[in-house]
Structure 1
């Protein structure tokens, strides 16, 4: 049965369109303006999320029928990728790069999601990647999400506006509140209750107001595109001053986080059993609904992200969850609690089976809670927890810590393990999703998982990779060397079978220098390279460069230029290991002059790497800083505050390096300035100890690195702001030198 139709006349022909699908017509107008009148969408009754795409013979256009708006978006995407051969990427949309006349469908293109939920976002992505984004940048990503079939993305921008209003209504003054929120890139951890306050100064009111306005646009667009935004809720983390206003309330300090000073951790926690918790929850959700409308019943709420409960008693844990959920249902009778399962990974010693069962058991039913099995591809918990004791859960790919950029993935696992989990006895898996901490590179490993969510059989990696490359370079007649280059990557960097390597590989030049402990590290932020560089990365780059020589039109493709820079980046990062090993060996057996000579290749590699990265806008420190400063307009004091926060987050993270190098990036300006200065300092220190016959000390090196970071973080960027040099010519020079 068709629903909500209205009629549009185009060139004498009547088009019937579904009013609920107008967001898709707007998407077509944005991304395919020359074909804005060529697509017709309509909704039909049916189970789950499914679509059919057929030719509209009377118009020479395309009709997409669907059971949900999200399914219609996916149907449009399948037509564009399968029949037209175009796609939309993080580097931009290429959906309009095809001839005037649409290719015919030639039958029926059908699809059905194998899970009801397709989720996107890690809570910390809002600190590592999107923190300084404008709506233009959000608009591209939201279209990317909709077309790939995501239907429950996290909408976590602007949280502070509502929260601070709740605190004001509770009687707190602005002075009492001002020391609570963190700086912009660190807000996710403030929301998690890990830290409070900002080492760059109080969070400006302008930031709070601007982000609230941005969130309104994001939520509205999500809804228009058929997505249900996962909205925040009141978690219980409060300024310490609340206890002064409510002396009888059950407010206690949460557990400290990491090595941060007491001035910024812990926050205070209002226990859910206290009536004040429910009062503040009602205030928060009511204000949120007034701001965004009644657009969602799904609320993200995490109380123990790397914070352990004050008691391990199972009755206590059951009651915490029961009272938290009751506070949601009291204001929204249809509320669904979405929580991250990261606590069961990071604090596995505390969260025993009995404690997890008690905590989850505080929420009645199976569909009233959605748990993100946050690290399914490397450290799943669903299989150890009896499918979360029947609660709905989502198979997630974490993959990327802190936005690190090393090439790594396991395509075979991503196309098989979700199906294994879905088909396991008693499975309560209801979704698949992406929970990468930072959205930096490795795009194929994210694409394939979202596509697998629409296939009940494992995708064929070879066939998938070939079609993916053709869409990426929007050309089905590519030189054979292109396919071979990506086949090499798919069989090596994206076929990581080493279970000791978890998530993206980090380069050793991004961590504090030392004479030991850098190379071959496994586990969290590992540096072990699980493939031979010469037969994989170097070979792949040579093949792509060959393709660029054979078909010069490739040099006009943004994604091709991105890829040859990215692979060059990985090649030089790997070559740095060889130079470092030579330096260490020389230091143990040779003179000061020999050490100085052995250190020079490391510095040369960093300079060369910086020059390659500088040729592409996606690898510029300037872009990160410009995005931050743009929020300040002409207010230089505010701009400097934002730049300081931006710089600190990708370097020291904390005021004294408490999470040093966690969110490191390989960007031009960061490599050629910050990392180069650190390794210059390190090699000079090695030479000095040799000449003075002094003992080497890691403590001295670390102290020097913190001082460099604190100084660098206070600088103001002076440029260059734009790309420098020719990408292909620079890559060819790197091939001659390093491949």
Structure 2
């Protein structure tokens, strides 16, 4: 052996062998610890997840145990959790990596060693991944940073998410779960059900009101999800609700999502940046791309090929850049909080100039959509079986991975949203999906294609059962596709498609179109139907929220997300009671919520939130939001119903109970949740009162009498409604407009963004193509838009005999006003806020016929 070889052995081989020996010893030691731990868990942590049926380790959907549970669903108490043995409580403390020192059996020295080693393992493996949930506590509960300890552990029972919450001897709240999402949901259950604090849309976070010290648990809280996936977001929500959101808005939303157990959210912001780079790469100019992209309030429909181009001006590239930066923050926070973002993929919709750079490409034009003229619709679609499609797909996903990291394998891709395919031939349909699927797999071998199943309902006349089957069959591996049954609570498609022919799918609550604001829900469908689907379909893998807009009715969305953790339909009576208790809690230990608030919400539960009219399938719209006419406004059905499916007098009673509660507990007038809800219920009471007043005016007019007096009363009701709405930032036009203008770099951009914001909630198109679809009951919008429309309409009635009524003429007059309103701009940053209590006192005294003959506080 020469000298060189000896040097190599001494310098490399011997140290390497020694390192391997050390690693082998460590590995064997860790293995022994894990075996001991598993044995101890089996012996000492052998507690059941379910003395109560609703939390039990999930039975198989078709077995007798589950079927029996269906017949006792009213026994589900949301605020009660399983008992556990003292041995289990002690072991939770013993083995927790940060709190094992309390209550430990000092006679068992080996337990110390195991606990220390397990703590080291946990801190090494999970410390970084737990940062997200600890940061959530720091953001929302800064005074309680040291009050919680989180730990990831394997319960060795099911693949679903599970959690255990308990109290250590020193008062620390210990939250254990087998995923970050389970930890977050377990934290939420403790905060909402025990500390009685929560985080809400509009109202914001009330978690900082949690008492000090935190309430101790006499028994652990445990829970197990019934489904693997909890999905959130409709594609169009990114226009109707989040179009102009700031990072602060998104932070609140993401924390809300995490605490409610959402683990599969759509991340659909800023994708235009990636798309522009892909188009540049193949030679398209920015001008050619700009002619394709739509304005910021309408990007959702551009992304899946309904519209193209931007009326009112081109989309600024500064918007594209800023939204891209926002998306980076969003997906980073999603991952930190244990969510798997659903990212976009290349859909195939391209600028018209694609033929210049890809002259041999196979392209077709999409359908005309929404009554738009050809300039803004008939989008160009690159057929997936063209070789260029796969090339652009790989480029898109590669650039996306470079921007955000390799954070997901799930991609949203909708090709026929309210657009019919070029051909109904079965082989053609299969060819489209097959090549789309292959393009995804060529870009990401682990890709899963998520699609909205909305097309099978909205264009049901085209999508026959055989065409649906052919289209889905193009994805040859079932697990490579995930279908959102978008409207499960009212128009489910999973039954007629035999659970999407074996493809995994998610039961979704759509509920709201365009951000409508009426009080509405189907509590029985959301609970009973969801659990029945879970029992009937082997390929159901999740529950999801797919409302088009976030505009109230928050309890309905909480209800479905909590149903994802119960095998039985939730007892809505008990659920509403507990929800009210937490929503109006002051955070002061021992304080009580006035009984009138429970009574008011029970009325809502049995009326507005218990719709059983199958012709009214979504949130209602008030007729005062619609373009005035002498016909066609009352009792509309379908997606934008104006029908009131409950006795309006019942809602007045609920309002009176709310008002009575505030007269007894005046602190409610300073509580954000109560102020929001009082405006919301007042808004609905006044909107309901508008209907008989309108009907009376039409009858008077058709009888040949003057409508002047009744018309004046109608306008006064709207002015008073505007004053109520204007007391709260969440019900004001100025909030929406200022959010839009805040993204601008200069006045020209600010005016363009405001134009987009105004147009979406009124004309929805350059000429009112989808007029009033996304209308809102907002202060400032009522006074500046709806009232002038009704005044013009009433003026026309006063000066035109019923026999000479000309709908075309009055519609043209109203459109002229509507078009001018789009061009207005708002330079002020904030409208004056008035006190709700004093406004309600004035309004309720003026309208005893609306609110009842009673004195306001």
Taking structure 2 as the reference length, what is the TM-score of the superposition?
A: 0.83
1:423 is aligned to 535
Contact 2:98 2:149 survives alignment (8 Å)? no
2:636 is aligned to 521
- Which one of the candidate residues 304, 317, 320 is aligned to 1:208? 320
1:477 is aligned to 592
Query: What are the equivalent positions in structure 2 for 1:439-450 lying under 5 Å apart?
Result: 439-450=550-561
Task: Work out whether 1:60 is the aligned partner of 2:200.
Answer: no
2:543 is aligned to 432
How much has 1:670 moved relative to structure 2?
0.2
Task: Work out whether 1:646 is the aligned partner of 2:760.
Answer: no
2:797 is aligned to 686
Counterparts of 1:719 and 1:483 in 2: how far apart (Å)? 40
2:141 is aligned to 32
1:293 is aligned to 405
1:559 is aligned to 673
Counterparts of 1:671 and 1:516 in 2: how far apart (Å)? 21
Contact 1:617 1:723 survives alignment (8 Å)? no
Task: Work out whether 1:589 is the aligned partner of 2:703.
Answer: yes
- Which one of the candidate residues 276, 281, 286 is aligned to 2:388? 276
Cα deviation digits, residues 221-259 of structure 1 (max 9, x gap): 000000000000000000011112111110121111121
How much has 1:295 moved relative to structure 2?
0.4
Counterparts of 2:395 and 2:810 in 1: how far apart (Å)? 50
Counterparts of 1:370 and 1:694 in 2: how far apart (Å)? 57
1:490 is aligned to 605
Counterparts of 1:215 and 1:704 in 2: how far apart (Å)? 42
2:615 is aligned to 500
Query: What are the equivalent positions in structure 2 for 1:4-19 lying under 5 Å apart?
Result: 17=123, 18-19=126-127
For 1:394, what is the secondary structure of its paired residue?
A: strand
Aligned residues: 730
Contact 1:616 1:723 survives alignment (8 Å)? no
For 1:367, what is the secondary structure of its paired residue?
A: helix
Structure 1 residues 8 and 452: CA distance shift in structure 2, 3 A: closer
Deviates more, 1:182-191 or 1:93-102: 93-102
Query: What are the equivalent positions in structure 2 for 1:442-461 lying under 5 Å apart?
Result: 442-461=553-572
Contact 2:708 2:798 survives alignment (8 Å)? yes
Consecutive unaligned residues in structure 1, runs of 5 or more: none
Structure 1 residues 434 and 733: CA distance shift in structure 2, 3 A: same
For 2:146, what is the secondary structure of its paired residue?
A: coil
Deviates more, 1:20-29 or 1:594-603: 594-603
2:843 is aligned to 734
Counterparts of 2:559 and 2:149 in 1: how far apart (Å)? 27
Cα deviation digits, residues 158-208 of structure 1 (max 9, x gap): 010001110000111111111010000100000010100000111000000
Structure 1 residues 229 and 6: CA distance shift in structure 2, 3 A: farther
Counterparts of 2:837 and 2:571 in 1: how far apart (Å)? 32
Deviates more, 1:181-190 or 1:15-24: 15-24
Counterparts of 2:728 and 2:329 in 1: how far apart (Å)? 29
- Which one of the candidate residues 262, 286, 295 is aligned to 1:174? 286
Deviates more, 1:116-125 or 1:243-252: 243-252
Counterparts of 2:692 and 2:814 in 1: how far apart (Å)? 22
Task: Work out whether 1:70 is the aligned partner of 2:181.
Answer: yes
Structure 1 residues 720 and 532: CA distance shift in structure 2, 3 A: farther
How much has 1:503 moved relative to structure 2?
0.5
How much has 1:705 moved relative to structure 2?
2.2
For 2:376, what is the secondary structure of its paired residue?
A: coil
Contact 1:392 1:429 survives alignment (8 Å)? yes
Counterparts of 1:461 and 1:67 in 2: how far apart (Å)? 28
How much has 1:10 moved relative to structure 2?
14
Task: Work out whether 1:318 is the aligned partner of 2:433.
Answer: no
Counterparts of 1:113 and 1:200 in 2: how far apart (Å)? 48
Contact 2:585 2:592 survives alignment (8 Å)? no
Task: Work out whether 1:547 is the aligned partner of 2:658.
Answer: no
Counterparts of 1:715 and 1:498 in 2: how far apart (Å)? 40
Contact 1:682 1:701 survives alignment (8 Å)? yes
Contact 1:421 1:427 survives alignment (8 Å)? no
Contact 2:195 2:211 survives alignment (8 Å)? no
- Which one of the candidate residues 708, 712, 715 is aligned to 2:824? 715
Task: Work out whether 1:700 is the aligned partner of 2:809.
Answer: yes
Query: What are the equivalent positions in structure 2 for 1:627-638 lying under 5 Å apart?
Result: 627-633=739-745, 635-638=746-749
- Which one of the candidate residues 673, 688, 691 is aligned to 1:574? 688
Deviates more, 1:124-133 or 1:582-591: 582-591
Counterparts of 1:551 and 1:510 in 2: how far apart (Å)? 34
For 1:257, what is the secondary structure of its paired residue?
A: coil
For 1:337, what is the secondary structure of its paired residue?
A: strand
Counterparts of 2:508 and 2:810 in 1: how far apart (Å)? 38
Consecutive unaligned residues in structure 2, runs of 5 or more: 1-33, 39-94, 103-114, 852-857
Contact 2:96 2:151 survives alignment (8 Å)? no
Cα deviation digits, residues 72-92 of structure 1 (max 9, x gap): 100110111111111110020
Cα deviation digits, residues 676-704 of structure 1 (max 9, x gap): 010011001111113xx871111122212
1:115 is aligned to 227
1:94 is aligned to 206
